[in-house]
Amino acid sequence: MKIVVIGDIVVPCDLLVEAAKSLDADAEVVAVEWPNASRQEFQHRAQNLEKNGPTAEKVPDEAYAQVADADVLLTHFCPVPADLVEAGGQLKLIGTCRGGMEHIDVAAATARNIPVIHCIRNAEATSDYAIGLMFAEARNIARGFAALKQGEWRKDYANSGYTTSMCEMTLGVVGLGNIGKLVAKKGAGVGMKEVIAYDPFVSQEQVDEQGLPVRMVDEETLFSSADVISLHMRLTPETKGCIGERLLGHMKPTAYLINTSRAGVVDKDALVKALTDRTIGGCALDVFWEEPVSADDPILALDNVTVSPHNAGNVVDALPKSPLLLARKIKEYWETGKSDMVVNLKALAS
């Protein structure tokens, strides 16, 4: 077996090589570097890929040469456009040690019957953070801190008329993937009154089999019933801007929207209007439509918003552990033929 790994400044080649060797100790492993001048440059290129897809950044020439006779391609953020997929005439699997798939042409891989597998390296960290944002927004923790830093002993807030304990609040989770499931469990664990969820790909039977403390409902019921709504959706052409005027209009005027997924799933203009008009109680955002966010962004001027600079997944051990986590997911798939981490599994089976 030949495995080609493409490392970068954030997930270096040596970590990917270790993961490749854990798949097959006898494999020929070839390492290629996706060059980056600095972490700042990496972030710029990563954002470009997230916005514009796998053709937005250049692939190292060596990758095309090495993938020609490779069985497996493992990468972190190096793009995998259609021409790289086509160059890999013997490819049997493509893996990436991150959750987002914007840098990979999944359709091209599917057309070649190649499974594409990923891993959610920061699921625990992001779910922790989502719960933290719920407390921060509903109980004014960040706003109280900011006021004290300015010498103000503040007791009056936009939500002062309806502030209550978490045990009185229903949590609504939109998207029951790895992170959404953890948020549901943790929401129940901190004593929230009920956890409801909407995911068009998950049934109540599946939830019950997994022992999740969740009641599945339709989208409109979730938005009209929940006191806190936490978004855990992928940004796709179908989900872009789907949380807009219609769904925000279903929310209670005392309800909070929490987003640690992708800003693009929310219609920004509709959200700003709902917050300004106080038709929803507030929101907490760790993601923005443009990052870094501009100082004159209207979101920052609102008093019923908690914001943070895309920090939900930033823990020291998520990145270095991600290649081995990916390798475990690949092994599970090879052993069982099943995996919820193979993003095109249904397409391959059809």
Active-site residue set: 262, 291, 310
CB 33 within 8 A of CB 6: yes
Secondary structure class of 171 (helix, strand, coil): strand
Percent of the chain that is helix, strand, coil (3-state, to 5): 40, 15, 45
- Cis peptide bond prior to 60, omega within 30° of 0: no
Helix (H) or strand (E) holding 196: strand 194-198
Neighbours of 270 (CB within 10 A): 17
Cα(257)–Cα(229) distance, integer angstroms: 5
DSSP 234-284: ---TTTTT-BSHHHHHHS-TT-EEEE-S-GGGB-HHHHHHHHHTTSS-EEE
Q: CA quadruple 269, 275, 276, 278: dihedral positive or negative?
A: positive
β-strand pairing of 2-7 with 72-75: parallel
How deeply is 192 buried, as exposed, middle or buried, from its count of CB atoms within 10 A (0-12, 13-18, 19+)? Answer: buried
Q: How far is CA 259 from CA 82, 176, 302, in A?
A: 31, 14, 16
Q: CA quadruple 126, 128, 130, 133: dihedral positive or negative?
A: negative
Cα(325)–Cα(335) distance, integer angstroms: 15
